[in-house]
Amino acid sequence: MKRVLKKSLASVSQDDRKIIRRISTYLLSHHMNEVVYEETVSDLIGMAEECRARGEDFSQAIGPDIEGFSRELIKNAPRMSWPERVLADLQWFLYCFGMLVPVMYIVNLIFTGTGAGAQLTFTATILTFIKYCVVCTAVVTGIFIFRRRGFGAPKLTLGIYIAVFVILFTVTDSLERFVPTDIVIHLDVIIWVVTFGVLLLLCWLIRRLSAMTTAYMRVLGQRLQRSFHIHRDSGDTDKDKDNEKEKDNEE
Contact positions toward another protein, by CB under 8 A?
40, 43, 45-47, 49-51, 53-54, 60-63, 69, 72-73, 75-78, 218, 222, 225-226, 229-230
Among 199, 207, 201, 158, which Cα is nearest to 31's?
207
**C-beta of 81 vs 172, nearer to another protein:** 81
**C-beta of 156 vs 219, nearer to another protein:** 219
Q: What are phi and psi of 121, to 5 degrees?
A: -125, 150
**C-beta of 46 vs 235, nearer to another protein:** 46
**CB < 8 Å & 24+ apart, contacts of 83-87:** 83/206, 83/210, 84/31, 84/34, 84/207, 84/210, 84/211, 85/31, 87/203, 87/206, 87/207, 87/210
- Cβ at position 61, least distance to another protein in Å: 4
Sequence-distant (≥ 6) Cβ neighbours of residue 21 within 8 angstroms: none
**C-beta of 35 vs 134, nearer to another protein:** 35
Q: What are phi and psi of 63, to 5 degrees?
A: 100, 165
Radius of gyration of the chain (CA): 27
- Cβ at position 75, least distance to another protein in Å: 7
Query: How many residues does the structure list for the chain?
Result: 251
Q: Reduce the DSSP state of residue 56 to 3 states and report it.
A: coil
**C-beta of 231 vs 245, nearer to another protein:** 231
Q: Reduce the DSSP state of residue 117 to 3 states and report it.
A: helix
**C-beta of 39 vs 188, nearer to another protein:** 39
Among 89, 96, 94, 93, which Cα is nearest to 29's?
89
